[in-house]
Amino acid sequence: MEQQINTASTPAEQQLKLMKRMYWMSIVRTVACLLIFVVIAGSALYVLPGVKELVDRLTVVASSLEQIDITYMTESVTNLAVTGTESLEETMVEVTRALQNLNQLDIASLNQSIADLGAIVEPLARLFGSR
């Protein structure tokens, strides 16, 4: 029969080794937490001035927006639209009148008048030697 070699130590020694490992792991964990805290604190110190500047700018924009009178602006836009519509209607009336006047012109008599004018001007042009 083989005799088993007992390499295991007593339970008290095993518990002591385990406690030492737990102690070192707690030290490692504490150092890691401290490093993370330092990194986060450094980042915060780097980022916070930019955030403060952004908040200051947003405060200025918000105060500017508070000064705007929305009711007045909407009334102004409405008045502008009404005025534009009225002007467009007046323009359409004037254009209609102009088209009616053009339609009332007697094109045939206008052509005859132009021909008569040409007949009168042609002898004068020959008299002064332009043709």
Residue 1 pLDDT exceeds 50? no
Torsion of CA 93, 98, 101, 103, to 10 degrees: -100
- Cβ density class 59-96: b for 16+ within 10 Å, e for less: eeeeeeeeeeeeeeeeeeeeeeeeeeeeeeeeeeeeee
**91-114: per-residue pLDDT in tens?**
999 999 988 888 887 788 888 888
Q: What is the DSSP letter of 94?
A: H
Residue 131 pLDDT exceeds 60? no
Q: What is the pLDDT of residue 16?
A: 93
**49-95: per-residue pLDDT in tens?**
888 888 899 998 888 888 887 888 888 889 999 999 999 999 999 99
Is 60 in a helix, a strand, or coil? helix
Q: Please state the domain extents for the chain.
A: 11-68, 70-131
